[in-house]
Amino acid sequence: MKQQLIAGNWKMNGSLAANEALVHGIAQGLQAALSGKQAHVAVCAPAAYLSQVQQLTHSSGIDLGAQDLSAHEQGAYTGEISAAMLKDFAVRYAIVGHSERRHYHAESDELVATKAQRALSAGITPIVCVGETLAEREAGKTEEVVKRQLAAVIHANGHCISEIVVAYEPVWAIGTGKTATPQQAQAVHAVLRAQLQAATPHADRVQILYGGSMNATNAAQLLSQPDIDGGLIGGAALKPADFLTIIAAAAR
């Protein structure tokens, strides 16, 4: 059975002291949460703390992730961080196209696709986020929006597409406490799976995560859906006990 991936998205939270306490809390409870089963676990830390969190997570069974990366390879791009730089800190995953970046930084589908490409060519797994706003859902456009967002990434990445992770994150569910029901989430995941199947014979091994107010209470039901292969967790990833409960629900 395909392993599930539980990735924490810390967003712009943390400090040297808080990160240390958080990673220690997760690492200490990890074996008990997995209880002899398996799941991939990652934390996507703010760029400034990657070096610290690389050391904290070393040999802990927790992989390191970044929250973004540059669409450029190198050069005169003040403030940007390249895929190769992330790789220097043993970054395994990079979130791309999070709705907060699409919204606050006007990231287009094409830019997100290029970022996914940069990650893949550096040997980093992009966690490609897609999702509709409330207005788009109410207008019946959910499927159209997520397919358009994923199509750009498929188009730019060709046969490498089976190496990505997809995260379906309905914008209206992020940080709001409103979660998609397991049925609502599964319906969109099935659409994304079918789209991947049309693009690669290896679509079944692509992990499609759900994100948006996943927490210790609702995780088990969401993670039991056939096309939900893990979670991208914001708020609940900042609390070791909650994050560990989600990991326990994902362990197979």
Least Å distance, CB 44 to ligand PGA, is 9
Q: Is 169 a catalytic residue?
A: yes
Q: Which residues contact 144 (CB under 8 A, 6 or more apart)?
A: none
Indicate the residue among 55 and 181 with the shorter CB distance to ligand PGA: 181
Contacting ligand PGA within 57-76 (CB under 6 A): none
From residue 7 to residue 26, the character string flagging contacts with ligand PGA as x (rule: CB under 6 A) and all else as - is --x-----------------
Residue 84 phi, psi dihedral angles, 5° rounding: -65, -35
Cα dihedral: 23, 28, 29, 34 (round 10): 100
Least Å distance, CB 174 to ligand PGA, is 4
Contacting ligand PGA within 184-223 (CB under 6 A): 211-214
Whether 75 and 127 have beta carbons less than 8 Å apart is answered as no
Total of chain residues touching ligand PGA, rule CB under 6 A: 13
Least Å distance, CB 216 to ligand PGA, is 11
The whole-angstrom separation of Cα 60 and Cα 78 is 34
- Candidate ranges 113-121, 130-138, 152-160, 233-241; the one touching ligand PGA (CB under 6 A): 233-241
Q: Binder to ligand PGA among 232, 247, 248, 250 (CB under 6 A)?
A: 232
- Candidate ranges 53-61, 157-165, 188-196, 234-242; the one touching ligand PGA (CB under 6 A): 234-242
Q: Is 40 a catalytic residue?
A: no
Q: Binder to ligand PGA among 175, 197, 204, 217 (CB under 6 A)?
A: 175
| Position of minimal CB gap to ligand PGA | 234
The whole-angstrom separation of Cα 141 and Cα 241 is 36
Please tell me whether residue 233 binds ligand PGA under the rule CB under 6 A. Answer: yes
The whole-angstrom separation of Cα 41 and Cα 123 is 18
As annotated, the active-site residues are 98, 169
Chain positions contacting ligand PGA, by CB under 6 A:
9, 169, 174-175, 211-214, 232-236
